[in-house]
Structure 1
Amino acid sequence: MNWRAVRTIFAHEMARFWRTPWESLASPVVSTVLYFVVFGAAIGGRIESVEGISYGAFIVPGLIMLTVLQQSISNASFGIFFPKFVGTMYEILAAPISFFEIVLGYVGAAALKSIIIAAVIYLTALFFVDLPIQHPFWAAGFLVLTAFSFSLFGFLMGIWAKDWQQLQFIPMMVVTPLVFLGGAFYSASMLPPFWQDVAKLNPVLYLVSGFRWAFFGQADVPVAASLVAVAVFLGLGMAAVWFIFRTGWRLRN
């Protein structure tokens, strides 16, 4: 394992993160405050609690998961797309490092950025609601695995994209709607029986449900199913990355 190469890629990506503190850290804080104003105050005034949990606290895990998915995909996709765009990707491929080391550097940095932002959102939420975590170990595990899994998908999207428009298409048109329809701001049990079954076809529901269970001990789907969903996301992402570097798809042409 060429740890020097991994550290170099990782440090380069993290340096870009710290060079833009407003976009990296202040924006999630502002967004969190706005979500609490809109959802916590406006809707929370009509819905006092969901399954015995104050609505303001109930939406926090979904809000964190929404941000983690968006940031993981965005950071990882930009990180690998930019070398393709400026033509330095060939230097990376020609360097004496394996595809695993390349992926570990880019994806590890993207996942860490998302985890830092998630922590900032959690600390911001504490100013508005009382938010204990019943299962901190499982919360950290869900957060890390989800961030890493979707950073892998962002890495894949950065390789797939041919221009900046394609780079923004999937986060805006696919991921964000899936999160909003995946119980981020409501419980699936609030839906009619038919729509509860439809909601269970949304894979993001399992991520949000598992993460919310770590906070409150309540979930829309079994926790085991959430763990399986995270494992499937991680396995599919790793398999796809291995295939791309094995074949050179959209890397060497």
Structure 2
Amino acid sequence: MSFNARGAWSIYTRELMRAFRTAFQSLIAPVLTTSLYFIVFGSAIGDRMPPIHGVEYAVFIIPGLLMLTLLGETTSNSSFGIYMPRFTGTIYELLSAPVGVAETLIGFVGAAATKSLILAAVILGTAMLFVDYSIKYPVLAFGYIMLVAASFSLFGFILGIWADSFEKLGIIPVLILTPLTFLGGTFYSLDMLPEPWDTIALANPIAFLVSGLRWTFTGVADVPIAVSFGLTLGFLALCTAIIAFIFKTGWRLRE
């Protein structure tokens, strides 16, 4: 079967329209939360913090705050997008339509990634209201944000297929991703941790993502940038393979 561009575009636009109908939850709420972080950590605490690796503290935490919001919102948007058709039963219309795995992923995952990129732009614009900063490698930063958004959109897609209740949709983003992001160097450098905690912290995969994004912003990283990019690409490939298996076997899709 040839690639159905119209089918992919239909899924993509429908998912974007759903996000715009819930603009407060999708955009305004994360921006308000991020603003509070900047007020508390950037202004109230940041003035009392010395520079970290030569980077002003308020600037240092921007990539971590961006990653904190990006991971949670991307995963939630993507998981909810595929869960609702399963919940309402309209998933069978999608499965019987002349669209394949590629078109389905481009539609659902592409929409979730697009919403995440819009959210990232809004958050970075909000950060300018609190701190004067610049991005050292803007092209690499944009590429890395796209890579992370695509990876966790795929991960959210898997989560939305796995979940059989609304409660399960929130387990991974709230109880796992958010704590791991806080412990992954969002507000501090891993070098600031005493032994053996600095080594133990490297067992947290989110620390590599935060470090990679921070390097594109400031040139400072806790781990080599090649490791961060490689780990993210590996996670992207793993999620793609899992989704291919799900569509091949029909696991949870035809139940």
Instruction: Give your verdict on TM over 0.5.
Output: yes
1:162 to 161, 164, 174: 164
Once the two structures are superposed, residues 234-253 of structure 1 have per-residue CA deviations (whole angstroms, 9 ceiling, x without a partner) of 01110110010010111111
CA drift at 1:75: 0.4
Q: Give the aligned partner of residue 28 of structure 1.
A: 30
* Matched letter for residue 28 of structure 1: P
Q: Give the aligned partner of residue 54 of structure 1.
A: 56
Question: Aligned equivalents of 1:194 and 1:159: distance in 2?
Answer: 38
2:95 to 76, 93, 96: 93
Do residues 126 (structure 1) and 128 (structure 2) align? Answer: yes
Question: Aligned equivalents of 2:31 and 2:102: distance in 1?
Answer: 34
CA drift at 1:72: 0.8
Q: Give the aligned partner of residue 151 of structure 1.
A: 153
* Percent of paired sites with the same residue: 52
CA drift at 1:25: 2.1
Written as runs of structure 1 = structure 2, the 5 A alignment for 1:1-253 is: 1-253=3-255
Question: Aligned equivalents of 2:231 and 2:208: distance in 1?
Answer: 7
Once the two structures are superposed, residues 94-137 of structure 1 have per-residue CA deviations (whole angstroms, 9 ceiling, x without a partner) of 11111121111000000110110011000010111111111111
Question: Aligned equivalents of 1:37 and 1:135: distance in 2?
Answer: 26
Runs of 4+ in 1 over 3 A off after TM superposition: none
Unaligned runs of 5+ in 2: none
The 8 Å contact of residues 50 and 56 in structure 2, kept in 1 or not, is answered as yes
Q: TM-score if structure 2 supplies the norm length?
A: 0.97
CA RMSD of aligned residues (A): 0.9
Q: TM-score if structure 1 supplies the norm length?
A: 0.98
Once the two structures are superposed, residues 145-203 of structure 1 have per-residue CA deviations (whole angstroms, 9 ceiling, x without a partner) of 00000000000000000000011111111111110111111110111131111111111
CA drift at 1:220: 0.3
Question: Aligned equivalents of 1:250 and 1:20: distance in 2?
Answer: 27
The 8 Å contact of residues 140 and 216 in structure 2, kept in 1 or not, is answered as yes
Count of matched residue positions in the alignment of Structure 1 and Structure 2: 253
